[in-house]
Structure 1
């Protein structure tokens, strides 16, 4: 019962390999100060490998000669990792954060499953590919030209102080083209403007910069209506 059979010895080696490979990827995420770091990736990779090993070998004595599906438990790992990855994705100011971290958790689970399925070369190659390609892809995507996008913003500012001129010139300096859609004067000596800004897809920087201008009381993204 407690003897170390060749299958068990191989499985222990693969669990050790999954620990090492998951730690390598987790260390890279930890170095970049991501929420899911070394410990999370080790647990995901090692747990995925263990589930795969249990699925392949854990029920051999129970089922006897009956047909078995070694992937019955391992297949559920993919679903479970999907829920775990969704937990690290959040939205702030219409900007989605955590997608790369969620994808990395998913990748570590796949590496762990490859180890559990006795595919050490595949798991190692994928880990090395991650370490080499991710920084390279980050550099390439940063240099790629981005398609222009439209952002419609509602702005409220104090009247008579040249604020609108400052808004338009600031937007131009940031690389946006501005077009005023409508203007409404209010009773509190303020003006509300709805304007379309065409430029970079990320409007977070635009909203933050315009909100900091003197005389601007409110900046918010709206639909064109």
Structure 2
């Protein structure tokens, strides 16, 4: 009895390994906190737990004893939730790791599907995952109207009203602006300079606003540093 399903169990484990490897390689290529190893281990572990719940107690329990293989599956779902939460990082305006956390859930689901013998479902889910992340997500980023965060570093002469003008230009062009910090210094000519970091949130291109900012009275320099889409991951997520 114990060895009657060994061949099938090994095959299902190998399928889980291959499919979760595909998911993990996609995350690894994007240099995410949870990469190839994590996804493979999550998938294989979920597959093993599912196989154990289905086959593991047949030899030690009375054939008439009630068994509920769904109990272990339910615990897998709960456990993966904690693991996924560990890769999510929330900043002041961004949340990183959501897609990676979701990919861990997918790896666990694929492993469970393989362990339950639902290989076709596991194959389809893996294919949909790869199509979504590799083909659809890049297209979504090209759609108009995406709100993005862009950081600007501006250096201007103190007392010239430059900051007020910067905020006016940002508002006129549909940006919400937050002040991230500033330092003071003195130029060689004795002018007090303000080196400020500003964060712009909007759907327009901040690059198109830079020329106008450069013409603001008292402005010495404008530096552009692209930020992240709010509540999205860096790569595409």
What TM-score do the two structures reach when normalised by structure 2? 0.67
Alpha-carbon distance in 2 for matches of 1:198, 1:27: 32
User: Does residue 1:199 correspond to 2:176, yes or no?
Assistant: no
Q: What's 1:44 paired with?
A: 42
Alpha-carbon distance in 1 for matches of 2:49, 2:79: 11
Structure 1, unaligned runs of 5 or more = 150-156, 180-188, 190-196, 202-209, 216-225
* Residues 163, 214 of structure 1: 8 Å contact kept: no
Q: What's 2:9 paired with?
A: 11
User: Does residue 1:121 correspond to 2:120, yes or no?
Assistant: yes
Q: What's 1:102 paired with?
A: 101
Q: What's 2:196 paired with?
A: none
Q: What's 1:183 paired with?
A: none
Q: What's 1:194 paired with?
A: none
SS at match of 1:33: coil
SS at match of 2:68: coil
SS at match of 1:80: helix
Alpha-carbon shift at residue 168 of structure 1 (Å): 2.6
* Residues 157, 220 of structure 2: 8 Å contact kept: no
Q: What's 1:222 paired with?
A: none
Alpha-carbon shift at residue 72 of structure 1 (Å): 1.2
Larger relative contact order (Cα-Cα within 8 Å, sequence gap ≥ 6): 2
1:126-165 alignment runs, 5 A limit: 126-146=125-145, 159-165=158-164
1:163-202 alignment runs, 5 A limit: 163-168=162-167, 171=170, 175-177=173-175, 199-200=202-203
Query: What RMSD in Å do the two structures reach over aligned CA positions?
Result: 4.1
Superimposed CA distance per residue, residues 146-166 of structure 1 (whole angstroms, 9 cap, x where no aligned partner): 3779xxxxxxx9751232245
Alpha-carbon shift at residue 75 of structure 1 (Å): 1.3
Which of 59, 62, 79 is the aligned partner of 1:61? 59
Alpha-carbon distance in 2 for matches of 1:110, 1:148: 32
Structure 2, unaligned runs of 5 or more = 149-155, 178-191, 193-199, 205-212, 214-218, 222-237
Alpha-carbon distance in 2 for matches of 1:178, 1:133: 31
* Residues 89, 97 of structure 1: 8 Å contact kept: yes
Alpha-carbon distance in 1 for matches of 2:175, 2:127: 43
